[in-house]
A and B are shown apart, each in its own frame.
Chain A
Amino acid sequence: MEESSAITGFGWGRRGDEPLPDTPVTWLRAQTLTPDAAIFTGLGESADGLIALRTQRSEKIRDNSLVKPVFQAEVAAQMEQLLVSEQPFRERLAWFWFNHFTVSLRQGDTRAVIGAYMREAIRPNVTARFSDMTLAVMRHPAMLMYLDNTSSTGPSSPVGLKAHRGLNENLARECLELHTVSPQAGYTQADVTAFAAVLTGWTVNMNAERPGFQFRANAHEPGEKTILGRTFPEGEEGGVAALQFLATHPTTYRHLATKLVGHFVSDAPPPADVAHVAAALHDTQGDLGAAALALIELRHAPRRRSVGERTDKFRTPMDFAVAAMRALDRAGPRPSPDAPHSPAHTLAGALGALGQPLWTAPLPNGWSDRAADWSAPADMMARADWAYRISAGVHEGNPLDIAHATLGPALRPATIEAILHAGSRQAGLTLLFSSPEFQRRQTC
């Protein structure tokens, strides 16, 4: 059970019949202590995406023909990484933090940079300090574009006075509410406004040879600003200091710990677990690697052992589709992720069909990871229908073997019975992927 839950609960599901880790704790710890092994070849930087976007705009190219290939290459490469990763815990952490700092295609024309955002701002910081990730996110063109900060202007700055422009508080508000301290910090409208003023001038220079982040001093609101009682100087360093302050605020640590435990343990985060992770963040000034180690320790909390407490999480559509496709995976040569019917493309299509289209969260708070949000009748019907369609393309393997491999001890006798009586490989696999136990990942 232990081995299986490490790979399903903290990872993305077992890939085919890959060997299970001998010692799950060691296996999980190693992923937080070794660097990200993902290799993304042939993908450019966010500057390259912005050049494509700039050229489309200046040459009035309306069919997205320059940005589209950039985006498609990102989708293919990053979906492939989910399917083949041998550091699935690290991979789950990366997607968790992307969702925490959500950027979505729904706003801000982010298509050209959203893939690079994951690789440049999120992945390198998965085991760094939270303040490092926050700063990387807030300076990244994708976030500045998504939450409208590129045009936010200090009303008393030279640009503001000349052009009669002013603040846009979108990024500042969501950074306070969603990314860092959360409403528990008791901030006021004045704090939001002040923080928006702090962030004026944080924009994207589209005209540079390599477009990217720029602090535009003449659009920055002059003077000191006060947020939550702390005063920050004028200038770019004021923004850096404010983000450092917010990212290391005790309330931020509690907020992050609650979200992490909610994702890695249970929809109802046990207070003792939250306290454990919050303490790890607090003691290390927000070291996300330490937080990841603290999550691993939760699996062996004495309380949990003494009462035999078990927890699971209902799979989101992304969890579900990745786990199903990893379960169906076979060793051997893989088609290029860019090929039309590659597993990577199938996965991206599945996310749309199941209601969680890639990088398209409706709002800045990202996708839910709670059972209540993904278990409606239409959700379950969509899963059964997708399972039926994908199973049609499976021409080898015994469904029962696949079921044992992917579910381990969680596989129930009733499901075994149903698969044994299924009239076809397609029906057997559809039953496996529609079973109640496949809708969940065992966490602790």
Chain B
Amino acid sequence: MLRHSLLIRRRSALLGLAASWALGRSSLALAGTPDGDDDPRLVVVILRGALDGMAAVTPYGDPSLTALRRDLLPPEPGRDGGLLDLGGFFGLHPSLSGMQRLYAAGQMLPFHAVAGHYRSRSHFEAQDYMESGADQRLSSGWLNRAVSALPKNRHGAEGAGLSLGLSVPLLLRGPTTVASYAPEGGRRPDADLYTQIAALNAKDPVTGPAFRNGLTALGFSAKVLAGDAPPPAPGGQKPGAFAILADAAGRMLADQRGPRVAALEMGGWDTHAAQKGRLAGPMRQLDMGMDAMRLALGRTWDRTVVLVMTEFGRTVRMNGTGGTDHGTATAAFLLGGAVAGGRVAGTWPGLQAAQLFENRDLAPTSDLRAVASGVLRDHLRLSPSALTNVFPGPAVAPENGLVKV
């Protein structure tokens, strides 16, 4: 199963020149270059812990489904607390009502039975490979390499990109520098002392750039975020950590001097036991976060694509403790005003025993890199040669028709 012998690494706080801010199980990182105001925006959300794609986008029309996971299933669409229908075969998790509205508006595209190119059931390896975009762990992530390929800005890149959170995902680490934003944490040194600290560290290869970028970001974020509070959540619910970060990401991306690319991460998906109850919270958080980001982006939402992805799916059958174990194919989502949504993309592999991967997992029929490549090519306008650099290794044909033209 585990074909590579990499060291195990902590996955949720890998940092490079970039940085970010973590709130609870969520964190956010941003990068990009200030330029004109009609640039496309791209957000990637990593769901860490392996989202059960069949719980997010449930194939209630598949005749084999009930026998495999009867106790995990919400009622069918139309019933109280039931699935939210996506056209007669699939239903969205009942907590994803905001995302269903986006689907109805043609701005949400679920993609089913996707998997990375790897076949590891280790969270840590799979996340490394997913974020590296390669068959091995690289020192940079595919999103950082994609940012490197964006048209160069007019004002110089240093400090123009921004990341939020104590952990920048490997996805956004790499040669392109991103600065950082951290929510106010109480009393701070004055500008003079900060300047002395930066000078003391200036020549250090590790702490020098970190302090330099940290101070740049402090100035930048103070301007963009001054005085604003996160918007109230629908239904009066308290915004979760993820929604707060999604809101901050949206507002910074909406600023024309701000970043063009952001990455957020969110945990809580590793549902080995009592899945039905445990998934409702993270699903609701995700839904509220997407809504907060849409509102914060304002008109910029029309130029935005959000890719929501996870390292692998979960077993098709319920395990012995009302949960699911590590699997293979899962669902991904594209959201945004620029998305050609309102349908479920991908090829459904079926759920009969012979159709499963290793008789336990949803069989993968699409490559996650193909989905990401389609967005990078058609939305960020990356050239074929740039895409080769973003996703090295065996070529993968980008998916067509994911974004509006």
Question: A371: which B residues are within 8 A, CB to CB?
Answer: 206
A353 within 8 A of B: yes
Q: How far is the CA of A182 from the CA of B272 in the complex (A)?
A: 21
Judge whether A376 and B20 touch: CB under 8 Å.
yes
Q: Which of these binds chain A: B56-64, B121-129, B366-374, B384-392?
A: B121-129
Residue of A nearest to B201 (CB): A436
- Cross-interface CB contact of A379 among B5, B9, B15, B125, cutoff 8 Å: B15
Complex interface bits, A290-323 against B, C-beta within 8 A gives 1, otherwise 0: 0000000000000000000000001000000000
Question: B156: which A residues are within 8 A, CB to CB?
Answer: none
B218 within 8 A of A: yes
Judge whether B10 and A367 touch: CB under 8 Å.
yes
Complex interface bits, B264-277 against A, C-beta within 8 A gives 1, otherwise 0: 00010010110000
- Cross-interface CB contact of B200 among A370, A375, A434, cutoff 8 Å: A434
Complex interface bits, B1-44 against A, C-beta within 8 A gives 1, otherwise 0: 11011111111111111111110010000000000000000000
- Cross-interface CB contact of B124 among A187, A363, A385, A427, cutoff 8 Å: A363
Q: How far is the CA of A169 from the CA of B272 in the complex (A)?
A: 8
B142 within 8 A of A: no
B78 within 8 A of A: no
Q: How far is the CA of A385 from the CA of B211 in the complex (A)?
A: 12
Judge whether B166 and A355 touch: CB under 8 Å.
yes
Residue of A nearest to B180 (CB): A377
Q: How far is the CA of A106 from the CA of B197 in the complex (A)?
A: 35
Question: A377: which B residues are within 8 A, CB to CB?
Answer: 18-19, 163, 179-180, 209-214, 217
Question: A184: which B residues are within 8 A, CB to CB?
Answer: 5
Residue of A nearest to B320 (CB): A166
A339 within 8 A of B: no
Judge whether A378 and B21 touch: CB under 8 Å.
yes
Judge whether B180 and A168 touch: CB under 8 Å.
no
Judge whether B9 and A378 touch: CB under 8 Å.
no
Question: B124: which A residues are within 8 A, CB to CB?
Answer: 177, 363, 365
Judge whether B168 and A166 touch: CB under 8 Å.
no
Question: A169: which B residues are within 8 A, CB to CB?
Answer: 272, 319, 325-326
A382 within 8 A of B: yes
Q: List B170-229 residues whose CB lies under 8 Å from chain A.
A: 179-182, 185-189, 193-194, 196-197, 199-201, 204, 206-215, 217-218
A388 within 8 A of B: yes
Judge whether B14 and A258 touch: CB under 8 Å.
no
Q: How far is the CB of B181 from chain A (nearest CB, A)?
A: 7
Question: A153: which B residues are within 8 A, CB to CB?
Answer: 320-321
Given known contacts A355-B22, A373-B14, A378 and B181 CB-to-CB distance under 8 angstroms: yes
Judge whether A362 and B12 touch: CB under 8 Å.
yes
Q: How far is the CA of A229 from the CA of B59 in the complex (A)?
A: 39
B165 within 8 A of A: yes
Judge whether A380 and B207 touch: CB under 8 Å.
yes
Q: List B310-326 residues whose CB lies under 8 Å from chain A.
A: 319-321, 323, 325-326
Q: How far is the CB of A378 from chain B (nearest CB, A)?
A: 4
Judge whether B188 and A388 touch: CB under 8 Å.
yes
Question: A353: which B residues are within 8 A, CB to CB?
Answer: 185
Given known contacts A170-B325, A427-B193, A182 and B180 CB-to-CB distance under 8 angstroms: no
Q: How far is the CA of A372 from the CA of B210 in the complex (A)?
A: 11
Q: How far is the CA of A398 from the CA of B121 in the complex (A)?
A: 55
Question: B5: which A residues are within 8 A, CB to CB?
Answer: 182-184
Question: B300: which A residues are within 8 A, CB to CB?
Answer: none
Given known contacts A365-B11, A381-B218, A385-B188, A431 and B201 CB-to-CB distance under 8 angstroms: no
Question: B189: which A residues are within 8 A, CB to CB?
Answer: 384-385, 388, 427, 430
Q: How far is the CB of A314 from chain B (nearest CB, A)?
A: 7
Q: How large is the interface on A (under 10, 10 to 19, 20 to 34, 35 or more residues)?
A: 35 or more
A66 within 8 A of B: no
- Cross-interface CB contact of B320 among A160, A355, A414, A418, cutoff 8 Å: A160
Residue of B nearest to A258 (CB): B7
Q: How far is the CA of A427 from the CA of B6 in the complex (A)?
A: 43
Q: How far is the CA of A126 from the CA of B122 in the complex (A)?
A: 28
A120 within 8 A of B: no
Given known contacts A106-B25, A167-B320, A388-B193, A435 and B210 CB-to-CB distance under 8 angstroms: no
Judge whether B15 and A366 touch: CB under 8 Å.
no
Judge whether B19 and A376 touch: CB under 8 Å.
yes
Question: B209: which A residues are within 8 A, CB to CB?
Answer: 377
Q: How far is the CA of A283 from the CA of B209 in the complex (A)?
A: 45
Judge whether A378 and B214 touch: CB under 8 Å.
yes
Judge whether B320 and A183 touch: CB under 8 Å.
no
Residue of B nearest to A386 (CB): B185
Residue of A nearest to B199 (CB): A418
Among B7, B11, B187, find the residue whose CB has the most chain A CB atoms closer than 10 A.
Answer: B7
Question: A178: which B residues are within 8 A, CB to CB?
Answer: 8
Question: A182: which B residues are within 8 A, CB to CB?
Answer: 5, 8
Question: B179: which A residues are within 8 A, CB to CB?
Answer: 377
Q: List B299-344 residues whose CB lies under 8 Å from chain A.
A: 319-321, 323, 325-326
Q: How far is the CA of A439 from the CA of B1 in the complex (A)?
A: 39
Among A106, A368, A422, find the residue whose CB has the most chain B CB atoms closer than 10 A.
Answer: A368
A271 within 8 A of B: no
| 3 smallest beta-carbon distances between A and B, as pairs | A166-B320, A376-B19, A377-B214
Taking A186-B2, A363-B49, A378-B165 as given, write out 17 further A-B residue pairs in contact, using a Cβ cutoff of 8 Å, ordered by the A residue number. A106-B25, A166-B320, A168-B321, A168-B323, A170-B272, A177-B2, A177-B8, A189-B360, A192-B1, A314-B206, A363-B12, A375-B210, A377-B217, A378-B21, A378-B182, A384-B189, A434-B201
A-B contact pairs, 7 of them (CB 8 A): A177-B8, A177-B122, A355-B22, A355-B167, A377-B18, A380-B211, A415-B200
Interface residues of B (CB under 8 A from A): 1-2, 4-22, 25, 48-49, 121-125, 163-168, 179-182, 185-189, 193-194, 196-197, 199-201, 204, 206-215, 217-218, 267, 270, 272-273, 319-321, 323, 325-326, 358, 360
